[in-house]
Amino acid sequence: MLKEYLENEFLYKEDWNCAEHMLVGANRVYGLDLDDKAIKLAAGFGAGMAVGDVCGALTGAIMVLGELFVKERAHESDTIKRLTAELLERYRAKMGEIDCTPLKADYRNGSVKCRVIILEAAEILDDIVAREFPGAAFVAKQA
């Protein structure tokens, strides 16, 4: 799903930050029907919100969870809180951190940039989405 799309077709073909990559990729793979204005909402979340805090790939993934699992407001159920917590806990367990600065120190390099960081977030997001939407067929839309 998203991980494969990012890995094989999409990652770094455009000059997006990590949050934008996640949101644009998920928009195409999960058929979110977000317009360009909605995609712009991810702009300030790259580089850990520009200060090295929570990784942009994770904040982008959380935006996707919001689009998929919130009808109108986060307070309508505990679903978004539960799924967000799961995403962050699983990511931290796998990668050791959720913040951009230490993740970049451990995993970023010049030739592949933050590829490992983004793909791990995509894999966990894919797993959550597949579990919550059993049997759903998500197919990447062409750009």
For the segment 24-51, what is each residue's pLDDT rounded down to a tens digit? 999 999 999 999 999 999 999 999 999 9
Tracing tokens 């010049």 back to the chain, one arrives at 110
The dihedral built from the CA positions of residue 44, 84, 34 and 76, taken in this order, carries a sign that is negative
The dihedral built from the CA positions of residue 55, 61, 67 and 70, taken in this order, carries a sign that is negative
Q: For residue 90, give Cα distances in angstroms to 15, 75, 98.
A: 28, 23, 10
Q: What is the pTM of this model?
A: 0.92
> How does pLDDT run across 87-106, given as a tens digit for each residue?
999 999 999 999 999 999 99
Q: How far apart are CA 38 and CA 52, in angstroms?
A: 23
